[in-house]
């Protein structure tokens, strides 16, 4: 891969990979760091890409592995993530947003895998069903059905709270 091809890949895929990592990490600085590391590893190991999947899918798989490694490292060292800074919203709006966000995240956290991860990949990572199926080594139809079931389960949990 030439330097121009690497730059084009970075420009076209950065936001999709970053969005996916952001859904996993929930922390902007960590997501940025892992996304940069993802592209670094992809460019360093470009010969390993067999072309059996889309480039974004390959990059998301690398990102997922990096995130899992980071979680293992953090759990071994007991690091506590920093709280995200306030972005200047009013107090009432901030409380309302946090309450709604908390309810959604509680319901989403309670989803079992693979529903949770498929939902996050689709909604936050903005991946296609084909890409999600490839990540899980399943079919596109499997990804669609799993996402649909995840939405139903999430809605049921939201209705209970």
For the stretch 49-61, pLDDT in tens is 656 667 888 888 8
Predicted pLDDT of residue 152 = 85
Give the pLDDT of residue 116: 86
**143 within 8 A of 38, measured Cβ to Cβ:** no
Q: Is the peptide bond before 99 cis (omega within 30 degrees of 0)?
A: no
CA dihedral 133, 134, 138, 144 (to 10 degrees): 10
Q: Domains in the chain: how many in total?
A: 2
At 119 the pLDDT is: 86
Do 64 and 10 share a structural domain?
yes
The answer to whether the beta carbons of residues 56 and 125 sit under 8 Å apart is no
At 79 the pLDDT is 47
**For residue 68, what are the CA distances in angstroms to 62, 94, 146, 160?**
10, 30, 22, 31
- Indicate if 45 and 65 belong to the same structural domain: yes
Instruction: Decide which of 51, 85, 119 is a domain's last residue.
Output: 85
Domain end, chosen from 36, 59, 85, is at: 85
In the predicted model, residues of the chain with pLDDT beneath 70 are 1-2, 47-53, 76-101, 161
Are both 23 and 67 inside the same structural domain? Answer: yes
In this predicted structure, what is the pLDDT of residue 142? 92
Q: Tokens at residue 61, please?
A: 């798989």
């Amino acid at each position: 891969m030439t330097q121009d091809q690497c730059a084009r890949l970075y420009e076209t895929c950065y936001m999709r990979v970053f969005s996916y990592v952001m859904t996993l990490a929930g922390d902007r600085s960590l997501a940025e760091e892992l996304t940069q590391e993802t592209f670094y590893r992809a460019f360093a190991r470009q010969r390993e890409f067999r072309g059996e999947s889309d480039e974004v899918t390959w990059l998301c798989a690398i990102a997922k592995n990096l995130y899992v490694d980071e979680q293992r490292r953090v759990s071994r060292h007991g690091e506590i993530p920093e709280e995200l800074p306030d972005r200047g919203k009013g107090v009432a709006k901030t409380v309302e947003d946090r309450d709604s966000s908390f309810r959604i995240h509680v319901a989403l956290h309670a989803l079992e895998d693979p529903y949770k991860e498929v939902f996050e990949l689709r909604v936050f990572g903005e991946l296609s069903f084909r890409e999600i199926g490839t990540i899980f080594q399943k079919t596109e139809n499997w990804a669609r059905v799993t996402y649909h079931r995840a939405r139903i389960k999430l809605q049921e949990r939201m209705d209970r709270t």
